[in-house]
């Protein structure tokens, strides 16, 4: 879950909603620079954080507050679940998600024997996918950079990190190595430079929920509060000029 403080309690965005926003951003990518198997790549972006519901993993802090995803290092059950689910859909999707697992967790190698086993398993799967799909590691990595770019931009929006007063901030490196920056105009619209999209203007959105309770006795109690909360839609207009 993406958890932010709110004047009435907590504002929460599900990881799956963040994935949907990331996919919306990718959908508008300039046609000439789209990665191969574009539909499958978009599906991988949509599902890269799936596998388990947010409240099925550790959902609360020790004090009973909703647990922000950055405070939860990893859940092997979720990692295994999402890699298995994408493998059942397509090898390309599974390759993109496996590269995402490598991006997130390879630096943690040596800290947890079970995580090391998972990382080794994924390395074997990636070799198999590359061989069977007939693509090089470099080609796959460029496609994954697109996945990571969409993921990073979506997180900036969901976390409310876009800076005021037209201050620019880096999103991430695009698949060609270009560093893109985003800034907000005085009318609230967003611009990305250099502009990487096909359309000169489009909108994206994500839904959040506000729970008016600071502490919860269980993940199930939090889940019930989220189910009862009315979704709030947040929209952003991106325009080139």
pLDDT tens per residue, range 142-174: 999 999 999 999 999 999 999 988 999 999 999
Interacting residues of 236 by C-beta distance below 8 A, sequence separation 6+: 157, 189, 190, 203, 204, 205
Query: Residue 45's pLDDT band (boundaries 50, 70, 90)?
Result: very high
Q: Which residues of 43-78 are buried (b: 16+ CB within 10 A; e: fewer)?
A: bbbbbbbbbbebbebebbeeeebbbebeeeeeeeeb
Report the side by side order of strands in the sheet with 190-193: 2-6, 9-13, 201-211, 232-239, 190-193, 179-184, 169-173
Average pLDDT over residues 34-45: 96
Average pLDDT over residues 106-121: 95
**What three-state secondary structure class fits 241?**
coil
Please tell me what DSSP assigns to residue 177: S
Distances (CA, A) of 138 to 85, 175, 178, 189, 208: 24, 11, 16, 35, 37
Interacting residues of 46 by C-beta distance below 8 A, sequence separation 6+: 19, 20, 22, 23
Percentage above 70 pLDDT, the chain: 97
Question: Average pLDDT over the chain, rounded to whole?
Answer: 93
* Partners of residue 193 on adjacent β-strands: 181
Give the helix/strand (H/E) hosting 220.
helix 219-228
Neighbour-count burial of 102, counting CB atoms closer than 10 A to its CB (0-12 exposed, 13-18 middle, 19+ buried) = middle
């Amino acid at each position: 879950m993406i958890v932010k403080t709110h004047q009435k309690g907590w504002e929460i965005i599900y990881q799956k909603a963040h994935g949907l926003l990331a996919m919306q951003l990718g959908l508008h990518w300039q046609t000439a620079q789209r990665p191969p198997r574009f539909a499958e790549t978009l599906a991988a972006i949509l599902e890269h954080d799936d596998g388990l519901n947010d409240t099925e993993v550790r959902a609360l802090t020790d004090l009973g507050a909703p647990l922000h995803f950055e405070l939860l290092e990893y859940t092997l059950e979720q990692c295994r679940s999402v890699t298995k689910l994408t493998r059942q859909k397509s090898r390309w999707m599974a390759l993109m998600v496996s590269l995402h697992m490598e991006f997130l967790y390879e630096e943690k190698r040596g800290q947890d024997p079970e995580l090391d086993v998972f990382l080794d398993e994924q390395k074997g799967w990636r070799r198999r996918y590359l061989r069977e799909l007939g693509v090089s590691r470099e080609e796959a990595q460029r496609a994954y950079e697109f996945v990571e770019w969409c993921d990073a931009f979506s997180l900036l929006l969901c976390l409310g990190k876009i800076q005021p007063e037209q201050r620019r901030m880096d999103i991430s490196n695009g698949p060609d190595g270009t560093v893109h920056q985003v800034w907000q105009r005085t009318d609230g619209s967003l611009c990305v430079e250099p502009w990487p999209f096909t359309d000169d203007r489009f909108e994206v959105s994500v839904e959040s929920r506000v729970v008016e309770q600071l502490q919860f006795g269980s993940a199930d109690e939090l889940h019930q509060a989220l189910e009862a909360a009315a979704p709030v839609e947040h929209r952003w207009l991106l325009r080139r000029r």
